[in-house]
Amino acid sequence: MVETSQDEVDFGFRRVPRDAKAGLVRDVFERIADRYDLMNDLMSLGLHRRWKEAMLDWLNARGAMTLLDVAGGTGDIAFRFLARAGAAGRAIVCDINPAMVEVGRDRAIDRNILDRIDWVVGNAEALPVADRAVGAYTIAFGIRNVTDISKALAEARRALKPGGQFLCLEFGPRPDIGLGGLYDLYSFQVLPRLGELVTGKAEPYQYLVESIRRFPTDDRFAAMLREAGLARVRQRRLAGGVVTLHSAWRI
């Protein structure tokens, strides 16, 4: 058995100093921010849109709800939420990467979304919001990039009001039987090459597929949600287990 240091964490398949990972993640997204949404469409053949709509369906946005969308820099989840919630809804988009937040702000202006949304640069492990401040917390394809997932989940609970819902959309490390070989071929051979073709950079997409393989299994992530003090944990596997929707509540 290979011993690993508690001062190191996974960055894809590499082990890096714990205090270096956040900067490495920022660098990944800094390099691809202007093509991030285009690549999401190409990588998923547009399916990421349906997955995000499924997350908002489960949330059932309503009334004067405030949503905190973490790692949501380009605004995809926040824009969908505001369209559903109506005039009383409000969104806070928090992302560790200033370049992603800048892209999101530009997209909001293009859509004439000038109010009911706040943009903040911040870390999921130390959210820049007060205790019990929001009615819902969402994170789509971002939790695996966090240095300390358990700390981020504890922060999510802190930010949620009692009765508030946590929703996470994330790739699963192990799709259903029968998809594994094709999934690996697409992940390790196609995606980095597609990323290089579209953005001029293959490395961020190599990191992406490696980070997916390092993410906890559905059962382990459910246990982590409960350990963080969240309750009524449920999961829905989509696209043959390629992605999973995780729901939990602050009671």
Mean pLDDT score, 81-94: 94
Quote the Cα angle for 236-242-243, to 5°: 45
Cα–Cα distance measured from residue 95 to residue 99, given in angstroms and rounded to the nearest whole number: 9
What pLDDT does 179 receive?
64
**H or E element: which one contains 68?**
strand 66-70
What pLDDT does 3 receive?
40
Q: What is the Cα Rg of the chain in Å? A: 17
Mean pLDDT score, 5-16: 88
| 40-44, 114-118, 219-223, 227-231: the lowest-pLDDT one | 40-44
pLDDT above 60 (res 187): yes
For the sheet containing 117-121, what is the strand order?
117-121, 90-95, 66-70, 134-140, 160-171, 243-249, 231-238
Contact (Cβ atoms closer than 8 angstroms) between residue 22 and residue 121: no
3 state DSSP class of 172: coil
Express as a percent the part of the chain with pLDDT over 70.
96
pLDDT above 60 (res 208): yes
Q: Give the tens place of pLDDT for each residue, 26-38.
A: 888 888 888 777 8
Q: What dihedral angle (degrees, nearest 10) is formed by the CA atoms of 187, 190, 191, 192?
A: 110
3 state DSSP class of 122: coil
What pLDDT does 169 receive?
95
Which has the higher per-residue pLDDT, 230 or 1? 230
Long-range CB contacts for residues 98-102, cutoff 8 Å, separation at least 24: 99/29, 99/30, 99/33, 99/34, 99/73, 100/29, 100/33, 100/36, 100/73, 100/74, 101/73, 102/33
Mean pLDDT score, 241-247: 93
Q: Give the tens place of pLDDT for each residue, 50-76.
A: 999 999 999 988 778 999 999 998 899
The confidence band for 153, taking pLDDT boundaries of 50, 70 and 90, is very high
pLDDT above 60 (res 4): no
Which has the higher per-residue pLDDT, 5 or 86? 86
Which has the higher per-residue pLDDT, 26 or 167? 167
Q: For the chain, list the domains and their CATH numbers.
A: 8-249 (3.40.50.150)
Entry pTM: 0.91
pLDDT above 80 (res 174): no
Cα–Cα distance measured from residue 121 to residue 25, given in angstroms and rounded to the nearest whole number: 14
Give me the residues paired with residue 217 across strands.
Answer: none
pLDDT above 50 (res 2): no
Quote the mean pLDDT of the chain.
Answer: 90
The DSSP symbol for 73 reads T
Cα–Cα distance measured from residue 24 to residue 63, given in angstroms and rounded to the nearest whole number: 39
> Kind of pairing, strands 160-171 and 134-140?
parallel
Mean pLDDT score, 98-122: 94
Q: How far is CA 96 from CA 21, 84, 113, 162, 244, in A?
A: 12, 26, 22, 26, 23
The confidence band for 1, taking pLDDT boundaries of 50, 70 and 90, is very low
What pLDDT does 167 receive?
98
Give me the DSSP letters along 97-119: -HHHHHHHHHHHHHTT--SSEEE
pLDDT above 90 (res 43): no
Output the six-digit token pair for 239: 């696209």
